[in-house]
Amino acid sequence: MKIGVLGGDGYCGWATALYLSAKGHEVAILDNFVRRQWDHELGVQTLTPIRPLAERLRVWNELTGRTAELFVGDVTDYEFLSSFVSQFQPESIVHFAEQRSAPYSMIDRKHAVSTQVNNVVGTLNLLFALREIQPDCHLVKLGTMGEYGTPNIDIEEGYISIEHNGRKDVLPFPKQPGSFYHLSKVHDSHNIMFACKIWGLRATDLNQGVVYGTVTDEVAQDEALINRFDYDEVFGTVLNRFCVQAAIGHPLTVYGRGGQTRGFLDIRDTVRCVELACLHPAAPGECRVFNQFTEQFSVLQIAQLVQASGRKLGLTVDIDHLSDPRVESEDHYYNAKHSKLIDLGLQPHYLSDSLLDSLLNVAIRYRDRIDTSMFMPQVNWRNASNVRRPQITAGEKALFAGRAT
């Protein structure tokens, strides 16, 4: 198939683009490199040394004999985006090109607005481009389980059957987003459902859980292809942060009691889920929703898993409880359905099988790059404006660029 990967320089996008290319699909990557700019803005860097995208693609093309095309531009620029669709004529578009950090969206007004403009406007532009140029193209859109929040009922996959005052209907599952980022994803979902309904577009909304892992079969072929390992408090995941802390003997920083429960999945399952969605497209006019995760854990359970695995490697791993900077329930019911991708053929990897090789060992390997100042939360959900670390200087930016971070 001809598949466009929007946001193909990012964590999920890069792994997905290589996986699809290795499977024989004709892949085009679209990116504007803003993810790298956000690192510079925040004064952080991924644990793993990331090469420039042009170099990554050159190495991949030389290793495999395949050609993954690159289109540099912004999804909020309709002329550029429509030109890409017209030139490449994709059969599927995988849309990762969004600001994906809840803490980033909660820093202040500027970051909340930029998150929603990038995400909502970018997706709207894409919907209009597909309608005008490639209406039969299947949109595979990365959503988030965070759209649902933590309701006191089972979470269905996108829709719920309701009986009210003697009448029945199937409606979109109620949304209870917990940040301006998650709100932007809800707006995306509504816009996509509407576009499918009125224009006959076809779309799959993948409500993804927390993704972990750096190594896929494709990335493992060369050091130049290595993927991101974000552990800072804005873009990092709790699992990555715990593994990095364990690698250097720093106590694991659990927010509150640690009862916050979420869905998790291996990056190798992310790329497979995307391919399964592409190979089994939605029907014209259909907007279907898959809950994309394989296991559920609380934050405290994650900390205990890291603690146990770290001790097997001879690491000293303690657990500290911090005041929770977020506005969220620390103890709650959480039971989300996730059967549709399994039905399509997903064979999951599990955290217990992946923690040592894919996470802790990577953290240990690159522990000389760990910056402990990135561990503690600085973004408080309750503040209208948060005090951030100063932006790095032009000289520091040049240094980061020289180190290809």
Catalytic site positions? 144, 181, 185
Alpha-carbon distance of 109 to 181, in angstroms, equals 12
Q: What is the DSSP letter of 33?
A: -
Tell me how crowded residue 173 is: count the other CB atoms within 10 A of its CB: 23
The H-or-E segment that residue 302 falls in is helix 299-312
User: CB within 8 A of 87, min separation 6: which ones?
Assistant: none
DSSP string, 52-78: PHHHHHHHHHHHHS---EEEE--TT-H
- Alpha-carbon distance 221 to 193, whole Å? 39
Cα separation, 387 vs 279, whole angstroms = 46
Cα–Cα distance between 29 and 21 in angstroms, integer? 11
Nearest to 274 by CA among 18, 42, 71: 18
303 neighbors 237 (Cβ within 8 angstroms): no
Distances (CA, A) of 225 to 135, 222, 236, 369: 34, 6, 20, 18
Closest CA to 4 of 66, 69, 59: 69
Distance CA 378, CA 143 (A): 26
Cα dihedral 62, 63, 65, 66, rounded to 10, equals: -90
DSSP 370: -
To the nearest 10°, the Cα dihedral for 238, 173, 287, 179? -40
* Cα–Cα distance, 116 to 226 (Å, whole number): 30
The closest alpha carbon to 56, from 223, 275, 268, 267, belongs to 223
Q: Which residue type sits at 309?
A: S
